[in-house]
Amino acid sequence: MKDRDLVMDWLPYVVGSLVFAALIHLASIFALPYFSSDDAWSRLSRAMQPNSFTLLERDPAGETLLPFEDPRTFAGACVYDLAAGPVRVTADFSGEGLVIVSFHDRRGAAFYGLNDRGGLRGKLDALIVTGAQLEAIEGATPDDETVQELRLLSPTQVGYVIARSVIMDSSDVEAASRRLASLTCAQQQTPD
Amino acid sequence: MTGLLKTIVAALFGAALGLGATWYALGGGVSFGFVELGPWRGNPRAAYADADPYTRAARARTGQSPLSQAEGLTFFASVDDDGARLDPRCAYTIGGAIPAARLWTLSSLDRNGKPIANAVGRNAISSIEIVRDQDGRFEIAVASEARAGNWLPIARNEPFQLMLRLYDATGSAAAGVMAREQMPAISKGSCS
């Protein structure tokens, strides 16, 4: 009967330990995005100045800034910070070739994405704003004015925009890199 | 043993088990949002805030920035059609169907998402440069030694996975709703 006593003695602790393990596991999975110092935003913000579009170095056979990138693409990014005002992102897609652009919040979650066929008349004119900035802009402009820009509400105050240009074939390498040259990213003044 | 000591032992064991499970889950690619099509796995929601918690945690830990749906779809394969792990000492033939997209690329990456470095300095092939037969069918040889025709180089002794990117996917692929028959087959050839 001694073995049985031992089992009964430890059983609540074993069950408690397993329940605690499950809680720790779930908590760590949910908490990880908030504590990672090596996520896409952190990697990009270490590599560039905020609110300006920066081309990423392309090394098709080596270490890339972001993992799981297509070796057949050129990439550029803009780490934005809306603290001092909205950030405008423009691009000209009038050339040939495939360019894709997506907007991500601090946790890397995409809140808008488009390809070069998604622009308005071959152009992208987007304004990344916080909720308060959006209200200020809408309050300052007359209701009957046609809005030409795409206003994107960022879920977080900081985030990043990433653009990629796909190299079609070996003769397209230089042209593919030039396709990202039209991208701009700049802080705007908040309207009074 | 006193109750307090048992509680401490149980808590430590539980914490270790829970964190171990997190480490294991993120390393092994545990996720609930995957579309599985034969050997190919892809998560059309990987870039979004509503991705499952495991995908979000893996995104933060690895630093990757997945494509938004307007940009394209990404599929990974680390096994062949028979479910056997891809072996860098073997040659593979990729062929058959491919979902409708404006452009696609197939690349070889290591486990951490870094492009495979090899003697020829190439680790991707695009739909533009693929040589097709009269019926429009194609086959891609994945091998560490040079092949005539469509060849995706890998490196001998360097474990790899395949990444298929469908840029500006159209039709059912755009919604991430696809059948196994729409994806290319991965068949193992000779090994050395």
Could you tell me the residue ranges of all domains in chain A?
Answer: 1-35, 40-187
pLDDT at B121 > cutoff 70: yes
Nearest chain B residue to A38 by CA distance is B63
What is the least distance, in Å, from the CA of B87 to any CA of chain A?
20
Q: In CATH, what number is assigned to the domain containing residue B119? A: 2.60.120.600
pLDDT at B1 > cutoff 70: no
Note the pTM of the prediction, 2 decimals: 0.90
Residue B144 lies in a domain: yes
Digit-coded pLDDT (tens) for B10-57? 999 999 999 999 988 887 666 777 888 999 999 888 999 999 999 999
Is the distance from CB of B95 to CB of B139 less than 8 angstroms?
A: yes
Nearest chain B residue to A23 by CA distance is B18
Residue B74 lies in a domain: yes
State the best of A70, A105, A124, A162 to mutate against chain B, taking most chain B CBs within 10 Å: A70
Check residues B172 and B2 and name the one with the higher pLDDT: B2
Residue B44 lies in a domain: no
Q: Please indicate whether, in this complex, the C-beta atoms of A60 and B17 are within 8 angstroms of each other.
A: no
Q: Please indicate whether, in this complex, the C-beta atoms of B61 and A66 are within 8 angstroms of each other.
A: no
Range of the domain at B114: 68-191
Residue B158 lies in a domain: yes
Q: How far apart are CA A14 and CA B13, in angstroms?
A: 9
Residue B8 lies in a domain: no
Is the distance from CB of B45 to CB of B32 less than 8 angstroms?
A: no
Which residues have C-beta within 8 Å of that of residue A110, sequence separation ≥ 6? A102, A103, A104, B47, B48, B66, B68
Q: How far apart are CA A35 and CA B176, in angstroms?
A: 31
Tally of domains in chain B: 1
Chain B segment 87-126 residues within 8 A of A by beta carbon are: 102-103, 105, 107, 109, 112-118, 121-124, 126
Q: Are strands B139-143 and B90-95 parallel, antiparallel or unpaired?
A: antiparallel
Q: At the topology level of CATH, where does A40-187 sit? A: Immunoglobulin-like (2.60.40)
Counting residues of chain A whose pLDDT is more than 90, the rounded percentage is: 69
Residue B95 lies in a domain: yes
